[in-house]
Structure 1
Amino acid sequence: MAQKPSFLRRLFGGIWRTIALLYALVLLVLLLIVPAGIYLAFFSGPQVSVPQGSALVWAPVGDLVEQDSRGVGNVLGAVFSEPQRQSVVRDLVESLDRARDDDRIELAFLKLDELGAAQPGQVQDLIAAIDRFKQSGKPVVAWSPSYDQSQYALASHADTIYLDPLGFVFMPGYGVYRNYYKEALDKLGVTINVFRVGEYKSYVEPFIRNDMSPEARAANQAWMSSLWRTYRESISATRDYSAEDVSAYIEDFADTLEAMDGNAARMALEAGLVDTVAALPDVREAMRERVGSDDAHGSFSQINQADYLAATDTEQTAPRTDNRVALVVIEGAIVDGESVADSAGGETIARLIADARRDEHVASLLLRVNSPGGSVTASERIRREIARTRAAGKPVVVSMAGVAASGGYWVSMNADQIWAQPSTITGSIGIFGIVPTIDEPLNELGIHTDGVGTTPLSGLMRIDRPLSETARTIFQTGVERGYDTFVGHVADARNMEESAVRRIAGGRVWSGADAERLGLIDSLGGFVDARDAAAKLADLEPGDYALQPMQPPADWRTLVRQFLSAHTEAAWMPAWLSGLVDDEALAWLRTGLTDPHHRYAHCFCRVSSADAGIAALSRQRSE
């Protein structure tokens, strides 16, 4: 007779079966809800039409991105947390380009108050679209309760700029401010073993210093000054003031504001930065006089850019041929394996490029790169697929967005043509290795590591043991070899002498304007320019082709990866704590160490300013 299981075994067995049953029920419900939700979101609801004589309300919401990262997994995750707010640059550009020649659209109304993070290079793409719209002779009007730096860059190209009486225009300039962790790591006993090559090695400084090195300070100042010069020239190009007037407004901001008793709106008006100070109801009334009323909105006759794109999709002329220009987006840190939200997986991107190469209808490939780099192994995987695509006879063109540096440049360099905006952040040709070891904290806890191996290399790479000199030699040699490979690839791809590449490499960051002068890119321009170049290289005329975005299939594995990548951290880290540790270097240390050889081409070159916080405060005051 079999022995009856113990009480504890029956108890835990029952708990496990209950958990398994609940999991199966939740999965079943989700499998039913997700398809229904997708159908309702995209295929239901009233048909949208474009009112005759209306205004296109062009309203970026959230952060600017190059492709929508809110896949099925993240739509599912929105059930449990607030969805990520973002606007796709390509959609914003397309809406203005379509409306330019649409007789039903009388003007563009730029509603800029909800624009979030925007990199300078991306903003320049949007400015180019605004300028193309204006060339049609149609007016552009901008409104926001206040303007931060990115918002004002867009508004400055409008014909009329409105500002709320309680608002302000605040342009703090660009800055690179980072947290430095050496002292904290020393107190914790964590050793960050760093291996690097080159003079400009600021990407590893947060882990080995308590401040910015003089070399990094000088290099950062150089490329940020280039970006700031471009910004001042851009906002003064269509306004009645000079770049020097912009500098004077900023340098005297506090004194002038005090002299005007804190009236920042009047200060902006007298400086010529805005045309009219008016509350939103007055702005709406002014718009009614120009385009008429819309009873449904209780405002002026209008259609927002998302509805406009949906309404005009079926009106677009079909291409005369079956030819395609394939579009592959590389956005976020480059990591080994498959892509998840906010990262570009080497395997995923390489597979999309290979699919485009094998597609007989694809005549050329357009890469949109918005990445600070990451894994050397993954970057090289992507570069090789690009080289194979060119060898197969299909032209490849790269369009750099906000940043295409380090690994982002690695994946770009073999293209037939590289396009970037003057304010694109690029270059950073350098490699580093990083291996954290935690033997000291473990020793403090009374946990000790010991053992035996068959060779001197056994156990060499364990993070619970200090790195030996043999291990250090292996890592340093690998990093130096990787750097030489990077420099050699750039020299071959850009038809430059290797010595010339080394003079501008070493991890140094460049603006797009400087990169063109140095030969690292071919031309200055945005996404539309690069798209047209990709078509021209394939001998395609306008109207002969369609743009074909390449996306990985949304199977159940993709769904799970998206859901976990977007929401696992939120489940264990409170929002307030996440904000405290929202540092680029620390975030990368948590999630970016994926390279099997511990070699990275990553640029911590995100520019920052105080404008986002100021804008958030402004929104709170106006609500």
Structure 2
Amino acid sequence: MRKPVLLTTPIRAVANVLKAPLYPVYALARRRTPQVGWLHLELRPRLTEFQSALPSLARFVPELAQRQPTALSALRRLAQAASNDPHVLGVLVELPPLATGWSRARGVRDAFRTLRDAGKEVVVYLPRGGGNLELYVAAGASKIILGPEATFMALGLSMESRYIKTMLGKLGVSVEPFARKEFKTAAETAARDAMSEPQREQLGALLTTLHGELVDALAARPAMTPERVDAVFAAGFLRGEAAIAAGVCDAFAYEDQLGETLARLFPSHPRKAAPKAPRWGKGPPKRRSLAPAEPEVALHGAGTFLARAEHEFFYRLRDRPYVGVVRVQGAIRDNDEDPRGIRQTFWALRAAREDDGCVGVVLLVNSPGGSALASDRIHREVVRLKQAKPVVAYFEDVAASGGYYVAAPADAIVAQPVSITGSIGVVSARLLARDLLAKVGVHTEVLRSAPHADMFSPARELDDDERAILDTELDAFYANFVRLVAEGRGRSVDVIEPLARGRVWSGRDAATHGLVDRLGGFDVAFDEVRRRADVPDAQRAGLEPVVLQMRPLVGDGALRRLLVDTDASLTDDLAAVSGAGLPRVAGAVRGLLSPVAPELAELMGLLGGEQFLYYAMGIPDIR
């Protein structure tokens, strides 16, 4: 059940014996490797914690390779290897416009900090400029190089919600939400005309925390003051000399000028001499090459460097103990046909529990919640795993509602300051389309075998008894949610309940209130498992993370996962918790009516939804 190995121990031993005569040549080649100097790394727009390798044949399709995200796990290994190599002077990171969340962006900054703490320079190059997220990442570098015609759009952060109750009323449709408690606002955009005060309060607190992180990142730049940071956001758009004067940029360069620009920024670093321009025939040159006029710093591929640093000449005779990584990604759906869903998670949790080589687990959560029943089933598997081995949860961009529910039993919870978590509550919503049906000439006749058999029909309102039935069910689910969190946190229900009530917290605020134990990235969660693992001290330092992932059957969505992003956007995930078959609806509607797509997708999901209780949050995108 652990990561499959093709060679058994006897075959590995024979292979090592056959390779042994070549080892002196291998060792000599490594000793004679020239000085590294600077590494060049090009990040992809999408970031993920771990990235599975492409199938062999897919590697020959350039479009698929380009769509692969940058793995933060590989970035951390690169930072550690470069930090330990005295020949590495610095790393040049080319940063495109990012399509990722704030927690993963913070993971890139953590890798920069590892390099800088080791005395290495980090330079970020933004050929196309960027916005808030790119500025946040770049501010963690030693120097920032901007494309000559690129612009920084430092506009600050905003959250925008569109309320469609009036529009739905004109269509003859209304939505009746049932939520526990006042901060559980997942359905309010369809049920209200304006933002509720609890929603305004929790969004305001979240926005304040995230903006504070961005301000702190900029304030850490050389010669930056709080007044200069305020001036950056007041200016909005910064380019050219204005960007340098504002302190958000140190130099400009095109791609072919990076080597000489680094030489100017770091004059003490070794350089390679610029080639001389050739002369054609006798006398003055008739034509000059485009060679740089100044000495430049040599750049070496970061991927090649990491592959060489991690290469092992001999095969390991035995598999080492490892720390398993179990991912809970996207909306939590009770759907066995979903390849990212409950079936995958169950398999991984059970495999970790049964494999003696797995000494502990990091539960990697990036989910806004979903089905209450599915969340409870995953929670049960985490409890069973915890009885056998240490479990530490790590929250990425979002681990809220059902995402927090599944992590509640963990021995410890780690989150980034900019993670979004909490939302401990439950929500249901009911669609009433009686007026719409009448407008289009639809007449409904109902035959019932019991008084409440048609209580979910959109053709009629609920009576008082049916509302009481729903309220009782929601109260029970909410009380159980709070109780499980209290047990997992080792605190009383009276302490946890005021922190619950459906409220969303930033990772930093959650840590202040005891809903999170430590702030940091995946490496902090991994170190926590390694510290708790029951292994000899001699093996503790050699533990490595291994992602436990069930291999899909042929035709089980494998090709689709290569062609489609592996991590759905928050908009899709938030919509997906509202009913069966909704992801297709959300994607189609978003393309046609982007301003109100999430709300419409939720409503359409309610029409066909088979479940009515959801652990979901109602937070708009942060821009």
Q: 1:558 to 1:591 in 2, by over 3 A?
A: farther
Contact 2:177 2:188 in 1 (8 A): no
Counterpart in the other structure of 1:141: 123
Corresponding position: 1:110 with 2:93: yes
Q: Structure 1 length normalisation: TM-score?
A: 0.78
Which piece of structure 1 moves more, 186-195 or 508-517? 186-195
- Rounded to whole Å, the distance in 2 between the matches of 1:593 and 1:444 is 18
Q: 2:332 matched to 1:357?
A: no
Asked whether 1:282 is paired with 2:282, we answer: no
Could you say if the C-alpha distance between residues 346 and 590 of structure 1 is closer, same or farther in structure 2, counting changes exceeding 3 Å? Answer: farther
Instruction: Give the conservation status (yes or no) of the 8 Å contact 2:213–2:418.
Output: yes
2:110 is aligned with 1:128 = yes
Distance (whole Å) between structure 1 residues aligned to residue 596 and residue 45 of structure 2: 17
Greater mean deviation of Cα atoms: 161-170 or 462-471: 462-471
Higher relative contact order, structure no. (Cα contacts within 8 Å, ≥ 6 residues apart)? 1
Establish whether residue 544 from structure 1 lines up as the match of residue 547 from structure 2.
no
The alpha-carbon deviation at position 240 of structure 1 amounts to 2.4
Partners of 2:608 and 2:54 lie apart in 1 by 23
Establish whether residue 376 from structure 1 lines up as the match of residue 359 from structure 2. no
Instruction: Give the whole-Å Cα distance in 1 for the aligned partners of 2:516 and 2:189.
Output: 30
Distance 2:111 2:62 in 1: 35
Match in the other structure for 2:421? 426
Of 527, 531, 538, which residue of structure 2 is paired with 1:532?
527
- 1:273-422 alignment to 2 at 5 Å? 273-287=248-262, 292=272, 301-306=298-303, 308-310=305-307, 312-315=309-312, 322-338=320-336, 340=338, 344-391=340-387, 393-422=388-417
Could you give the per-residue CA deviations for residues 94-132 of structure 1, whole angstroms, max 9, x where no partner exists?
Answer: 3322332245644211101x2422322222221111110
In 2, Cα distance between equivalents of 1:106 and 1:322? 33
Say if 2:600 is the partner of 1:602. no
Change in CA separation of 1:545 and 1:66 when aligned onto 2, cut-off 3 Å:
closer
Give the aligned length: 546
Q: Deviations over 1:510-556 (max 9, x none)?
A: 11111111110111111011101111101445443231101121212
* Residue type of the alignment partner of 1:150: L
Which residue identity lines up with residue 556 of structure 2 in the other structure? Answer: T
Query: What is the percent sequence identity of the aligned residues?
Result: 27
CA offsets per residue over residues 298-328 of structure 1, 9 Å max, x none? 9975455555555555349969863110001
192-201 or 456-465: which moved more? 456-465
Contact 1:368 1:401 in 2 (8 A): yes
CA change 1:563–1:151 in 2 (3 A) is closer
The aligned amino acid for 1:553 is R
Equivalent residue, structure 1, for 2:21: none
SS of 1:202's equivalent in the other structure is coil
Structure 1 Cα separation of the partners of residues 418 and 393 of structure 2: 16
| 2:62 pairs with 1:64 | no
Among 483, 487, 493, the residue aligned to 1:492: 487
Contact 1:140 1:158 in 2 (8 A): yes
Corresponding residue of 1:509: 504
Contact 1:63/1:86 (<8 A) preserved = yes
8 Å CA contact retained: 1:51, 1:302: no
Look up the equivalent residue of 1:450 and give its one-letter code. Answer: E
- Conserved 8 A contact 1:319-1:543: no
Mean Cα deviation higher: 63-72 or 120-129: 63-72
1:576 to partner: Cα distance: 8.3
Task: Say whether residues 1:91 and 2:89 are aligned partners.
Answer: no
What is the match of residue 448 of structure 2?
A: 453
Q: Measure, in 2, the Cα distance between the counterparts of 1:71 and 1:437.
A: 47
Aligned residue for 1:552, secondary structure, equals coil
For 1:608 and 1:187, locate their aligned partners in 2 and report how far apart those are by CA, in whole Å.
Answer: 30
Taking the aligned partners of 2:153 and 2:586, their CA distance within structure 1 comes to 36
Alignment of 1:170-319 (within 5 A): 170-251=153-234, 253=235, 264-287=239-262, 292=272, 301-306=298-303, 308-310=305-307, 312-315=309-312
In 2, Cα distance between equivalents of 1:412 and 1:188: 41
The aligned counterpart of 1:26 is none
Distance in 2 between residues matched to 1:530 and 1:61, nearest whole Å = 25
**Structure 1 position 291, deviation (Å):** 5.8
Partners of 1:537 and 1:75 lie apart in 2 by: 39
Match of 2:101 in 1: 119
Give SS of 2:247's match. Answer: coil
Tell me which amino acid in the other structure corresponds to 2:343. E
Computed over aligned residues only, the root mean square deviation of the Cα atoms, in angstroms, reads: 3.7
Measure the CA separation in 2 of the matches of 1:579 and 1:312. 49
Render the CA deviation track for 1:381-402: whole Å, top value 9, x for unaligned. Answer: 11111111112x2000011111
Structure 1 residue aligned with 2:5: none
What's the offset of the Cα at 1:451?
3.1
In terms of mean alpha carbon deviation, does 577-586 or 434-443 score higher? 577-586
- Counterpart of 1:489 in structure 2: which amino acid? L
Bigger Cα displacement from structure 2, 309-318 vs 162-171: 309-318
Unpaired runs of at least 5, structure 1: 1-48, 258-262, 610-623
Secondary structure of residue in 1 paired with 2:557:
helix
Write the distance in 1 (CA, Å) between the matches of 2:38 and 2:300.
Answer: 6
CA distance in 2, matches of 1:95, 1:111: 15
The whole-number CA distance in structure 1 between the counterparts of 2:586 and 2:79 is 41
Superposed displacement of residue 195, structure 1 = 0.7
Distance 2:271 2:122 in 1: 13
One-letter amino acid matched to 2:518: S
Q: State which drifts further: 58-67 or 527-536.
A: 58-67
Which residue identity is paired with 1:200?
F
Q: 1 CA distance for matches of 2:606 and 2:66?
A: 23
Asked whether 1:577 is paired with 2:597, we answer no
CA spacing shift, 1:508–1:159, aligned 2, 3 Å? same
Distance 1:589 1:189, change over 3 A: closer
Rounded to whole Å, the distance in 1 between the matches of 2:153 and 2:509 is 27
Structure 1 residues 70 and 139, CA gap change in structure 2 (3 angstroms): closer
After TM superposition, the score normalised by the length of structure 2 is 0.78
Q: What's the offset of the Cα at 1:443?
A: 3.2
